[in-house]
Amino acid sequence: MAGAPLASTSATLNRRAANGNPRVRALLIALTIGFLSIFILAPLVNVFAQAFAKGLDGYLAVFWPPSPPEGATLGVIQQRKLAEAAVQSERTWSAIRLTLAVAAVVVPLNIVFGLAAAWATTKFRFRGRALLVSLIDLPFSVSPVVAGLVFVLLLGRNGVFGDWATHLSWPDPFSLRWVGFDAGFPLDFERDFTGVIFTPLAIVMASIFVTFPFVARSLTPLMESQGTDEELAALSLGASGWRTFWKITAPNVKWALLYGVILCTARAFGEFGAVSVVSGHIDVNDTMPLRIEKLWNEYNNQAAFTVASVLTLLAVFTLVAKTAIEWKTARDHATAEGKQ
Amino acid sequence: MTIEIRNISKSYGGERILRDIDLKINSGELVALLGPSGSGKTTLLRVIAGIEQADEGSGPVLFDDVDVSNVDLGKRRIGFVFQHYALFKHMNVFENIAFGLRAKPRRERPSEAQIREKTQSLLDLIQLGNLSQRYPSQLSGGQRQRVALARALAVEPRVLLLDEPFGALDATVRRELRRWLRRLHDTIHVTTIFVTHDQEEALEVSDRVAVMNAGRIEQYAPPQEVYEKPASPFVFKFLGNYNLFHGRTRGDEPGEALVRPHDIAIARDPNAAGASARPGVVTHIGFGGAVVKIELETEDKTHVDVEVSAPTFRDLNLKRGDKVWFALRNAQEYVPDFVI
Amino acid sequence: MSRHHRVIPGLPLTLGYTLFYLSALVLLPLAALALKAGQMSGPELYRVLTDPVVTASLRLTFAASTIAALVNAVFGLIVAWTLVRYDFPFRRLFDAIIDFPFALPTAVAGLTFANLFLKDGWLGGVGGHITAGINALAHTLGLGAPLPADALDFLTFPYTGQTGGIVVVLIFVGLPFVVRTVQPVLLEWDPEFETAARSLGADSATIFRRVIFPEILPAWVSGVALAFARAVGEYGSVIFIAANIPGRSQIAPLQIVTRLDDFQYAQAAAIGVALLTISLLVLLVINGLESFSRRHERQA
């Protein structure tokens, strides 16, 4: 990371100055623009075009279905349509809630893990360190479907821990209700889940599996290149380990951390294969990507694209944030180099 | 504070970096650890600091006769200045210097007003009072060096340890800063050890020099003694230019004599050169300002480097190809040490 | 009184937590996969993996992934080259959107591609769009409708029941791997080498072939291998665009899902192990290639 951004700018200018044959150049530029337009721009724009196929009203109706006009008497078919729309939008909202809840659990866990793993593998030398680093990267090379499959084989019926896991009872966090002081503790869970697989817990586990390396991976190269001198300096001045971490290490890696968190969040929101397998195709287990598939299968094209457009916006935001962070670190680096 | 280390060894992966080192430093002394790269000088400094641990079976590291081998880095009350300063990038000069004071446990921590006062006085000491709000990236190398020193001094260390303090600076700044360091040491009188590979720096600044080679201390003495009475051929060779003559010792054993170029007398007349003068032909004359370097070739085709002062050279009025007589004035004779 | 304590604190805590988290959430589940597949006898395993439906799905997965990887090999190199070497309008925008396939959820990619290549989609219906355009133009000129409505239907992207659509989405998901591994090497490339070669009389084609290409070859191959590995495991985007007919247009990951839905866990595990083995082999090849090129560099 160090050195690259600034060096590349000046080198790039040189390189652009020395261009070869103008015809070859025009051809290659045309091919690039054509290829990227068909394979990246067209699908991106198409998401929004399809989402707004029925206008802004149609777009919003996916989330907030139209209510019957005041005092109007509606035919049976009309009533059914409205009821159906209400059910559909409630399912979409449930998918959004579940997606947010899963990300809210998965991302913090992976941040803690990523920081711990990066600290252990970059600030120390120990036997097996290289193996540990490759194991942390392992989930990236596992097919999402296999990532889901392993949890079914571990926790499902006939799974390795199946007997225990299928009888495990745990409260549904969304069912926490106020029950009054009569019952002793005023809060209680109204519903319990039984089993692990085909419940949100399995979705959380599968999501952790597929997003596992992001934070650790974005921190490791930077922490490796920064070495341990600043930490040792802080410790020699009498700072505690925690203080050293929070005051010295954390500020030095904050942008890389943010970058890893953004990637991890984007993937947690968008994971399809692994989540699909452990969700058991049950409606209440739908996350946003699974909801998109159901709407598509029900030929509800515009609604599918509307939900998809939300995830696409998230992806666009991810790219903007990534570019901004890269720009920011390159600039920090440039000022650091400036006065040496 | 006195520092005494006894019988310290350190190995990395089977390679012995330090071999049974003993060293005693008096209170208030300024000691240089001098040696080529790989001689173990930085490792020795880090063992004294507590950044590295000596091997099992090593003797103690005593600060004022108290064993600190098992005292943590932060509790040894040392000030360590890293080769590349390890300033905290995201803190300005003031915050860097105040870090150690602010990191103290609440009971020992001075009030914020006291911290400001103390930091300000240190800023004045390093003559950077007007740059307190600058960030490390906005400082020159010499300024960074001084900030690193002030940061280490802020916690009132019992000993100051500097790793190649001037290594990353250009020649002019180096010379200026090492005089400044000497003056600073004369003012604050804290026991100081610094590591360097530059013999001029070590001889000029320190009270005593420990010359290190291959994990051992070859000689530990005041600069003049080290220079005039080198304890081994290695020390002789490391401290400056030399001529090597093979011959026989008085006991008629094969031996070698080492002579500094300025310890060779040169004259046109064999009697004027001194006893046992030998003939040679001038092959090259290099003007270096106050000192002129003359290369001679003897009858048996060995090259001899001679340095004479500019006035002497004027009197001699030498040209290339002139025949001269030279005599060794102050030769150090050593029986070859086949161990190294 | 151990002398071997570490100066920087936190190793036991962070390493312990790392190992625990890694074991519980990654290694243990993967061990379950190995265990389940290991419970099958050799002949049984052989029967599962040689089942015509399974072999067809594996063949399709590899064929589609290979074609997609080859397309990306060519176009990824062109894109990386163009982005680094030439300046053109919106270059920075095009550079930024290369990562889009990394950021976009696969389900959305599948959805939008499936729609694009529908008969009335922007790309699938391109023949119809052109025909309609020509007819409309002729109509305003008073020439009637010279072309029958289905004149250009051969341009319609044949995705239903076919594998073309699968290749298209696999190109999409694999593209950034090739571009993003080749690009840094091209950026680091010192133009002085080229100037030197040119001063020795070499033309552009020779310079590329003899000077630049050998330099980017290791990065290029590992980028293509990464794209291939990603394509082999891809699921979300493919199931939207493929017809998913068993034995004809069902990819291997979908076979796993089908087997799971039928509660044939052991069979699913067997196919899963096959897929995982292939991904790990590709990873091994990439690692070998990287260490080879590092060694090579050190010698040079």
A121 and A28 within one domain: no
In a domain, residue A18? The reply is: no
pLDDT in tens, A285-317: 999 999 999 999 999 999 999 999 999 999 999
- Which tokens go with A324? 């901004």
The average pLDDT across C241-267 equals 87
Report whether pLDDT(A327) > 70.
yes
The average pLDDT across C222-235 equals 93
Q: What pLDDT, on a 0 to 100 scale, did the predictor assign at position C156?
A: 61
Contacts of B233 (CB under 8 A, 6+ apart): B256, B258, B332, B334, B336, B337
A315 and A181 within one domain: no
Amino acid at site B214: A
- Which tokens go with B140? 């020159």
Q: Please, which residues bridge with residue B25 across strands? A: B3
In a domain, residue A15? The reply is: no
Q: What pLDDT, on a 0 to 100 scale, did the predictor assign at position A15?
A: 52
B61-63 β-sheet, strand order:
B15-25, B3-12, B61-63, B66-67
Instruction: Decide if C99 and A39 are in contact by the 8 Å CB cutoff.
Output: no
**Residue range of the domain that includes A47:** 23-52
Share of chain A above pLDDT 90, in %: 63
- Closest to C278 measured CA to CA, from C89, C62, C133, C15: C62
Question: Looking up tokens 């049984």, which residue turns up?
Answer: C44
Q: What pLDDT, on a 0 to 100 scale, did the predictor assign at position C158?
A: 52
A78 and A30 within one domain: no
A173 and A84 within one domain: no
- Number of structural domains, chain A? 3
Could you list the pLDDT tens digit for every one of the 340 residues in chain B?
A: 899 999 999 998 888 999 999 999 999 999 999 999 999 999 999 999 999 989 988 999 999 999 998 888 988 999 999 999 999 999 999 999 999 999 999 999 999 999 999 999 999 988 898 999 999 999 999 999 999 999 999 999 999 999 999 887 888 888 888 888 999 899 888 999 999 999 999 999 999 999 999 999 999 999 999 998 899 889 999 998 888 887 766 666 677 788 888 888 888 887 777 777 888 999 999 887 888 999 999 888 888 999 989 888 888 888 888 899 888 887 777 765 544 3
**ipTM, 2 dp:** 0.87
Shortest CA gap B54–chain C (Å):
7
Tell whether B158 is within 8 A of chain A (Cβ): no
A177 and A247 within one domain: no
A210 and A271 within one domain: yes
Shortest CA gap A210–chain C (Å):
9
- Substitution target in C5, C7, C11 with the highest count of B β-carbons within 10 Å is C7
Per-domain residue ranges for chain B?
3-238, 243-334
Computed over every residue of chain A, the mean pLDDT equals: 88
Residue C60 burial class via C-beta count within 10 angstroms: exposed 0-12, middle 13-18, buried 19 and up: buried
Tell whether C93 is within 8 A of chain B (Cβ): no
Question: Looking up tokens 């190649």, which residue turns up?
Answer: B164
Instruction: Decide if B73 and A243 are in contact by the 8 Å CB cutoff.
Output: no
- Closest to B178 measured CA to CA, from B157, B154, B162, B156: B162
Q: What pLDDT, on a 0 to 100 scale, did the predictor assign at position C1?
A: 34
A150 and A70 within one domain: yes
CATH topology of domain C41-102+162-299: MetI-like fold (1.10.3720)
- Closest to C232 measured CA to CA, from C254, C259, C253: C253
Of A16, A112, A315, the CB nearest to C85: A16
pLDDT in tens, C151-205: 666 656 555 546 788 999 999 999 999 999 999 999 888 777 778 888 887 787 8
A303 and A216 within one domain: yes
Instruction: Decide if A145 and C235 are in contact by the 8 Å CB cutoff.
Output: yes
CATH topology of domain B243-334: OB fold (Dihydrolipoamide Acetyltransferase, E2P) (2.40.50)
Q: Read out DSSP for B208-252?
A: EEEEEETTEEEEEE-HHHHHHS-SSHHHHHHHS--EEEEEE-TTS
Q: What pLDDT, on a 0 to 100 scale, did the predictor assign at position B338?
A: 42
Cα separations (Å) of A98 from A91, A204, A287, A339? 10, 10, 6, 50
Instruction: Decide if C3 and B50 are in contact by the 8 Å CB cutoff.
Output: no
* Residue C30 with chain A: CB contacts under 8 Å: 138, 142, 150
Report whether pLDDT(A12) > 50.
no
Tell whether A170 is within 8 A of chain C (Cβ): no
- Which tokens go with B158? 């019992």
CA separation for the pair C276, C291 (Å, rounded): 22
The average pLDDT across C218-243 equals 91
Q: What pLDDT, on a 0 to 100 scale, did the predictor assign at position B228?
A: 87
Distance in angstroms between the alpha carbons of the first and the last residue of chain C: 48
Q: What pLDDT, on a 0 to 100 scale, did the predictor assign at position C279?
A: 87
CA separation for the pair C272, C34 (Å, rounded): 9
CA separation for the pair C58, C52 (Å, rounded): 10
Q: What pLDDT, on a 0 to 100 scale, did the predictor assign at position C266?
A: 87
Whether B3-238 and B243-334 share one fold: the answer is no
Q: Indicate the CATH number of B3-238 among 3.40.50.720, 1.10.10.10, 3.40.50.300, 3.40.720.10.
A: 3.40.50.300
Q: What pLDDT, on a 0 to 100 scale, did the predictor assign at position A17?
A: 45
pLDDT in tens, C90-128: 998 999 999 999 999 999 999 999 888 876 777 777 777
Closest residue in C to B54 (Cα–Cα): C3
B286 membership: H or E segment, kind and range: strand B278-288
A312 and A191 within one domain: no
The average pLDDT across A249-275 equals 94
CA separation for the pair C209, C191 (Å, rounded): 15
Tell whether B103 is within 8 A of chain A (Cβ): yes
Amino acid at site C286: I
In a domain, residue A7? The reply is: no
A131 and A27 within one domain: no
Cβ atoms within 10 Å, residue A255 = 17
**Interface B:C, Cβ pairs < 8 A:** 18
